[in-house]
Amino acid sequence: MFLHKNRFAAISEIKRDFLFNNETSALFPVLNEIISFIRVHLPSRSHDGKISNCKQILIELLTNAVKHSGTKSTVLSVSIMDNKIEIGKSDTGRQFYLDNYTGWPPITWPISKRYIGEKIRIYEDDISDLYAIIQNENQIVFELQEYPVQKLRSDSNLLEHYGLLILTKMSDEFIYAYDPAICSNLFKVVIALDY
């Protein structure tokens, strides 16, 4: 565990890592531990809405770890800064998979330079589309496009996979980055704080 507060810099940053064993039985205890840590450092009630968002973001990151990482453990890093909270989830498991969504030849990480700037639609339904935009060879950013919710009918097309959508919607920035040097996957979420 790493706990650090830089009292002398203009921008303070409090950072701590939390270990998750990728078992659902540990999900709620880890969630509570992290939310308690955030609340201690952001005690004002004015942050309640953003802390509620953090809670859901953490639930989705932890769920994602159980479902997709294929590893025994995941590290959650939480940084609290003056104007934002950053939550990172890293593991050395499976890389983020883009192949199903393009008609391109198989995509491996690092991604070929010719795809930089491409916007790949990874989900679509009647009320929203979710895109992965390739920012560089090792990083994508998620972006959500929403459409008005019409009266639902039995043949309405609705997503049943909400994990990435929730992470994108509840954050101010949501990225996936691959570090080839250590074969590590990072999902990073930024939540801006209002003052």
Which residues are near another protein by CB under 8 A? 24, 27-28, 31, 49, 52-53, 55-56, 59-60, 63, 66-67, 127, 146, 149, 152-154, 156, 158-163, 165-166, 169-170
- Dihedral of CA 104/108/114/115: which sign? positive
Q: How far is the CB of 30 from another protein (least distance, A)?
A: 12
Q: Which residue, 99 or 146, is less far from another protein as judged by CB?
A: 146
Contact 180, 138 (CB under 8 A): yes
Task: Give which of 139, 103, 134 is closest to 116, Cα–Cα.
Answer: 134
Contact 75, 91 (CB under 8 A): yes
CB under 8 Å to 77, separation ≥6 — which residues? 15, 16, 17, 18, 86, 87, 88, 89, 90
Q: How far is the CB of 56 from another protein (least distance, A)?
A: 5
Q: Which residue, 41 or 169, is less far from another protein as judged by CB?
A: 169
Q: Which residue, 60 or 91, is less far from another protein as judged by CB?
A: 60
Q: Which residue, 115 or 162, is less far from another protein as judged by CB?
A: 162
Q: Which residue, 37 or 162, is less far from another protein as judged by CB?
A: 162
Q: How far is the CB of 31 from another protein (least distance, A)?
A: 8
Integer angstrom CA distances of residue 164 from 31, 100, 158: 18, 15, 15
Q: How far is the CB of 64 from another protein (least distance, A)?
A: 9
Coil, helix or strand at residue 175: strand
Q: How far is the CB of 66 from another protein (least distance, A)?
A: 6
